[in-house]
Structure 1
Amino acid sequence: MRGWLSRKTTQDPGTEPGAGDVHLALARESLKELLQDTRVPAPVRAQLARDYDEVRDMLEKLEHGHVHIAAFGRVGVGKSSLLNALLGENRFSTSPLHGETRQAGRAAWAREDAGGVFLIDTPGIDEIGGEEREQAAREAAERADLLLFVVEGDMTAVELEALRTLSDQGRPLLLVMNKADRYTQAELDQLRLRLMERTAGVLSHRNLICASADPRGGGAPQVEELITRLWTILEKEGRTLAAMNASLFAGHLSEAIGYRIIEVKRHVAQRVVRTYCIAKGVAVAFNPVPVADLAAAALVDGSMVVHLSRVYGLPLTRREAGTLVRVVVTQMAALMGTVWAVHLLSSALKMGTGGMSVMLTAGAQGAVAYYSTYVVGQAAERYFAMGKSWGEAGPRAVVAEILESVDRQSILRQARDDLSQRLGGEGS
């Protein structure tokens, strides 16, 4: 690598790579693995196309040894002026119009040994009616390796909240008190103490810097303290910063991929569950013999669980699926005895009348069967989504939560609609 890294990264042949080199290598491998992972379904890749483009950009950034420094803060605090002062030229707009910076802008720091360092200007975090600009600023900050949070005095509640949010991201953060020339030395000392108190536990005192990007009266910019601190960080931690940011981004994308994959699987799983709900409802409604009802129910539920296990890539045998169904049904019976009593009563009516009551009870019993399979399917889907686990609370808590969240009457109405369509078709 060249530029700002050259003085600190030159190694004698045969020496072990430094920590920064190791971090960079690991980060590059993480990004390459994300791009080359063939297990990610095509629909998920399509949904996350923009994120994958950013991974490619991040990988190119690492390959070229680039480091991005982004300025963040409210409208009017002098972010653009501060970056221009660092650059030594007016590259970023400093219009007095409120919220002139509409998108994140970038410029190379053409300072000696600054090859590969880019300064990024962002929209203000408090732009009225500018949610898109605020989002652009946040995204730029998330992609940067080092952040400058610019203020012009004591921090507002909005600024303090934003500072804490950025600090939680784990990136190096400098608080720059711009327009310092507007204060007397006594006022400046008092303001420093105030800012230190308010950022205690969030910001290191050495990362609180005073600057005057555009002094009153047309004097030269006073940014040497900021430049010194930036170069100290870059020379000491530059490679690690770039690697850390890439790793953070890779981690966020991995989470997003995992979430989208789960969503895709969940969508497929819900279609599977409904298909089996209808199949079980029809099987029970058409069979007047109670024992056969139970056999059909067990067969349908077991087949559904096997199907769901394959959707989630966690295949079960039919015996294992049967065990899972029994666990769920046992918890259902304990938690909602009334529904199961209705089911058993309907079966008893069938047996006592030799099947003559089928016309009266088949629809109701089919709907109850539909509902029971729906609950079994939801519980099984939750079990597979958690990696074949019920979690710390166990199956009873999972089933109880599902029963609590499900609108029973709505599901039963859906069951009657689905079954009436199917039964009507069978009868025609």
Structure 2
Amino acid sequence: MQDYPQQVRDRLINYRNLFQKELTESELVEILGLEEKLDKSAIAIAVFGMVSRGKSSLINALLGQKLSETGATHGTTKDVAVYAWDAGGKIQLRLMDTQGIDEIGGEIRGELALESAKQADLILFVIAGDMTRLEQEAIANLQKYYKPILLIFNKTDLYPECDRDAIHQALQNIDMQKLISPQEIVLTSAEPKPFKVRLQYSDGRDSQEVWEQPKPNIQSLKERILDLLNTEGKELLAVNVLRSLLEIQNAVTQRHIQKLQASTTIAALVFISEVIGMLISPLRWVDGLISGISTGLFVSWAIGKYPSQKKYLWLIVVLAIAVFVGASGLNNEVARYIQIVGAGLSLLLLFRSLIADIDQSQASGKLGAKTLITEIIRDVPECSILKRFQNI
């Protein structure tokens, strides 16, 4: 079995060392944080949902103690609260209680909640009945972050069995399966409704009624989470760290592309050197040699350390341009101008093609996050929760 977390760690270190000058300070700090996350085998589980769906109660039930505020009105949960969850095993678990996606504050609060999805390795999306349009839209938005999602149908104790089954079936229809598969739906009752109990005393005292709080019914959720972590925890951790690295690599590559697009001076110098060579060269092959050297150096500078899908093709293109320049160097003035124009157009097309190639090749190659993500998802079993992200 592949040790993907170690492979990811090696990739992080090698990328950080190779691109240290190109990385911003915040990106360097983030990469170091990702390395620490792998070292600690830390899994972050974010709990999402609308208000009054029982998010905080669910976290309390999982933790086995009341830590987060429950029964809150709209706007009470102001920050993302994080709790350590000791569920046994070597993996460190953190539960993140996010803001309600419909809390007071509108779109800004919702955006903050969705932003915390980037930090999560697994998402628990809590509902309490038939899904609303807002909830469906929220799940669709969360899936843009490529994070596995378990749909938690909470407060099931409030429904008669027939209604509960009907809602459960509706959550498994064809349209819903585009968002969540049936295997990713879990039924819970994190804080069951209290019920009255009549107490009878043997000493002759009058009987009395008291309210009794049933125990949370979340065992199926615990088992699903722990089973998921035991079978796919390493792959889950590796993919989510790689997703963060992917964003960094894309940002670094885009900055390099912007630098290339602004480097018209360098392209102009290459063209001028070729023109001078053509004008002063007494021999055709010298024209081609000068063109080949200057264009080759330009291509090498443009690609640099960045992955390229067509690296060997560019070598052939450089040779072709050199041959063209050398072969077209005829001994008359008109042909010489044709030679110069041809060299200029070739350089322009080469420059644009290079930028397109670097753009398409970002995050690929030996250090690319995308390459390893594809490999991991390809190798996991068909029943894996990660298979949903096969086409990233």
TM-score interval, normalised by the smaller of the two chains: 0.5 to 0.7
SS at match of 1:42: coil
Instruction: Find the partner of 2:321 among 325, 333, 339.
Output: 325
Deviation at 1:145, TM superposition (A): 4.2
State the distance in 2 between where 1:288 and 1:244 align.
60
The amino acid that maps onto 2:40 is: K
Deviation at 1:190, TM superposition (A): 2.2
Instruction: Find the partner of 2:186 among 208, 212, 229.
Output: 208
Deviation at 1:278, TM superposition (A): 5.7
Deviations 1:23-82 (A, max 9, x none): 6x43144224413542223222535235314303412431xxx54432111233221122
Does 1:149 find its partner at 2:131?
no
Bigger CA drift: 317-326 or 189-198?
317-326
State the distance in 1 between where 2:356 and 2:79 align.
42
Q: Percent identity?
A: 23
State the distance in 2 between where 1:26 and 1:298 align.
47
1:227-306 to structure 2, matched below 5 A, reads: 228-277=219-268, 280=271, 299=290, 303-306=294-297
Q: Runs of 5+ in structure 2 lacking a partner?
A: 196-210, 326-332, 362-392
Q: Is the 2:43–2:91 Cα contact (8 Å) retained in structure 1? A: no
Match of 2:353 in 1: 379
State the distance in 2 between where 1:367 and 1:275 align.
18
State the distance in 2 between where 1:380 and 1:325 align.
15
State the distance in 2 between where 1:78 and 1:328 align.
72
SS at match of 1:196: coil
Q: Is the 1:181–1:215 Cα contact (8 Å) retained in structure 2? A: yes
Match of 2:20 in 1: 41
Match of 1:89 in 2: 65
Deviation at 1:231, TM superposition (A): 3.4
Q: Runs of 5+ in structure 1 lacking a partner?
A: 1-21, 330-346, 352-365, 388-428
Q: Is the 2:302–2:354 Cα contact (8 Å) retained in structure 1? A: no
Does 1:184 find its partner at 2:160?
yes
1:10-409 to structure 2, matched below 5 A, reads: 25-37=3-15, 38-44=17-23, 46=25, 48-62=27-41, 66-94=42-70, 96-109=72-85, 116-127=92-103, 129=105, 131=107, 133-164=109-140, 166=142, 173-197=149-173, 199-200=176-177, 202-205=180-183, 207-213=185-191, 215=193, 220=213, 223-224=216-217, 226=218, 228-277=219-268, 280=271, 299=290, 303-313=294-304, 320=316, 322-325=318-321, 373-383=347-357
Gap change, CA 1:383 and 1:67, over 3 Å in 2: closer
Deviation at 1:301, TM superposition (A): 8.1
**Rg larger in 1 or in 2?**
1
State the distance in 2 between where 1:327 and 1:230 align.
68
Gap change, CA 1:36 and 1:43, over 3 Å in 2: same
Gap change, CA 1:36 and 1:153, over 3 Å in 2: same
Q: TM-score, normalised by structure 1?
A: 0.59
The amino acid that maps onto 1:208 is: V
Q: Is the 2:55–2:97 Cα contact (8 Å) retained in structure 1? A: yes
Q: TM-score, normalised by structure 2?
A: 0.64
State the distance in 1 between where 2:348 and 2:12 align.
36
Residues matched between the structures, number: 330
State the distance in 2 between where 1:233 and 1:246 align.
17
Deviations 1:310-346 (A, max 9, x none): 33148889985643537999xxxxxxxxxxxxxxxxx
The amino acid that maps onto 1:199 is: M
State the distance in 2 between where 1:61 and 1:48 align.
20
State the distance in 1 between where 2:112 and 2:185 align.
25
Gap change, CA 1:215 and 1:296, over 3 Å in 2: farther
Match of 1:390 in 2: none
Deviation at 1:209, TM superposition (A): 0.3
State the distance in 2 between where 1:240 and 1:274 align.
55
Gap change, CA 1:369 and 1:308, over 3 Å in 2: closer
Q: Is the 2:100–2:110 Cα contact (8 Å) retained in structure 1? A: yes
State the distance in 1 between where 2:139 and 2:257 align.
37
Gap change, CA 1:32 and 1:302, over 3 Å in 2: closer
Q: Is the 2:260–2:355 Cα contact (8 Å) retained in structure 1? A: yes
The amino acid that maps onto 1:323 is: L
Q: Is the 2:186–2:221 Cα contact (8 Å) retained in structure 1? A: no
Match of 1:362 in 2: none
Deviation at 1:244, TM superposition (A): 2.1
Deviations 1:88-112 (A, max 9, x none): 4331133634233333212234678
State the distance in 2 between where 1:379 and 1:237 align.
44
CA RMSD of aligned residues (A): 4.7
Match of 1:425 in 2: none
Bigger CA drift: 130-139 or 318-327?
318-327
State the distance in 1 between where 2:359 and 2:323 align.
17
Deviation at 1:163, TM superposition (A): 3.1
Deviations 1:356-393 (A, max 9, x none): xxxxxxxxxx9998777434422244356667xxxxxx
The amino acid that maps onto 1:40 is: F
- Identify the structure with the greater helix proportion: 1
Q: Is the 1:77–1:150 Cα contact (8 Å) retained in structure 2? A: yes
Deviation at 1:127, TM superposition (A): 4.5
